Amino acid sequence: MLERLNQAMEHIEEHLVGTVDAAELARIATTSEYHFRRLFSALAGMPLSEYLRRRRLTLAGAEVLSGERTLLDVAVRYGYTSGEAFARAFRAMHGVGPGEARRGGAVLTSQPRMSFRLVVEGSSSMEYRIVERPAFRVVGRRARVPLVHEGVNPAIAAFIRGIGQEGIDRIAALSEQDPEGIVSVTEFFSESREEGVELDYYHAVVAGADAVVPDGLDVREVPAGTWAVFANTGTFPQALQEMWRDVYTQWFPSNPYESRPGPEILHTRFLTEAGTARAEVWVPVVRARR
């Protein structure tokens, strides 16, 4: 998998002047475009579109300094339709405009070319299982919240407080299927998982496909499919957030599965030891193409 990802990275370098097609990158990596974008973001720490922008502006910066082409020629060469748009993007990355940079003495920013490798630490293993599920319903309350990578998400915490204990008990009574009890369900990320992107968050339970839903609750119909279920125990929420990271940076590159569109489900059980929890994450997957 990593070898094919690096072949896709080579393709990017060969087409920075021109068009980089995400579908073609996914074909080279022998995966779906959806999974390629998600995996790239997790491994690179930024969306594919941001990496392409920064690599192009890195090369554009070198050409601006060389003085061999006009500023407008450099702008068009790297995909900008006007000098003004190029100048805005150039300043956003480099801190100075292209004209100012060309006059000399400017310090520019470089986005290095990326490649991927697997680091084998050997200090921990991932606990997971593959589950085939019939159709089911997620039933509860939904909110639109920003993604937070580290620490408690204040928007989610405020939303849960607003439901109140009576409302949470009402939702919990509808639980019918594994994972049992209240779960956190997230869906509709952007093409990547950058900090601050909005997503749908459900404070909910998993119920049968024909469950009767009381008025005032939100429902997400989930079709039948395959799920990879990961579990760990540790300090909350740090251990959970590390597990999310490891799923995309370690497990997917090493296993014959890829992510597919659908809600991701988290079940958390707090333990008697202060600050620790047992977390279980359900990720929708399909067998990878080979």
**CATH number, domain with residue 238:** 3.20.80.10
Q: Are residues 283 and 140 in the same domain?
A: yes
- The three-class DSSP label of residue 285 is strand
Task: Indicate whether 121 pLDDT > 60.
Answer: no
Task: Indicate whether 191 pLDDT > 80.
Answer: no
pLDDT category, 193, cuts 50, 70, 90? low
Q: Are residues 137 and 269 in the same domain?
A: yes
Cα 260 to Cα 33: distance, rounded to the nearest angstrom: 10
Q: Are residues 96 and 183 in the same domain?
A: no
pLDDT category, 56, cuts 50, 70, 90? very high
State how many domains the chain has.
2
Mean pLDDT computed over every residue of the chain: 88
195: left (phi over 0), alpha (psi -120 to 50) or beta: beta
Q: Which CATH number covers residue 88? A: 1.10.10.60
Taking only the tens place, the pLDDT of each residue in 209-239 is: 888 888 999 999 999 999 999 988 888 878 8
Q: Are residues 94 and 22 in the same domain?
A: yes
Joined together, the tokens standing for residue 166 give 């009576």
Strand 198-208 vs strand 183-187: parallel, antiparallel, or unpaired?
antiparallel
pTM for this predicted structure: 0.70
- % of residues, the chain, pLDDT over 70: 93
Task: Indicate whether 122 pLDDT > 50.
Answer: no
Of 125-139, 241-255, 270-284, the range with the lowest mean pLDDT is: 241-255
Last residue of a domain, one of 102, 136, 154: 102
Task: Indicate whether 71 pLDDT > 70.
Answer: yes
Joined together, the tokens standing for residue 128 give 């997971």
Cα 125 to Cα 45: distance, rounded to the nearest angstrom: 22
Q: Tally Cβ neighbours within 10 Å of residue 126.
A: 15
**Regarding predicted confidence, which is higher, 122 or 118?**
118
| Average pLDDT estimate for 14-38 | 92
Cα 143 to Cα 158: distance, rounded to the nearest angstrom: 11
Length of the chain: 290
pLDDT at residue 79, rounded to an integer: 94
Residue 119 included in any domain: no
Give the range of the structural domain holding residue 63, as residue numbers without chain letter. 2-102
Q: Are residues 96 and 141 in the same domain?
A: no
Joined together, the tokens standing for residue 11 give 């393709």
pLDDT at residue 45, rounded to an integer: 78
Residue 107 included in any domain: no
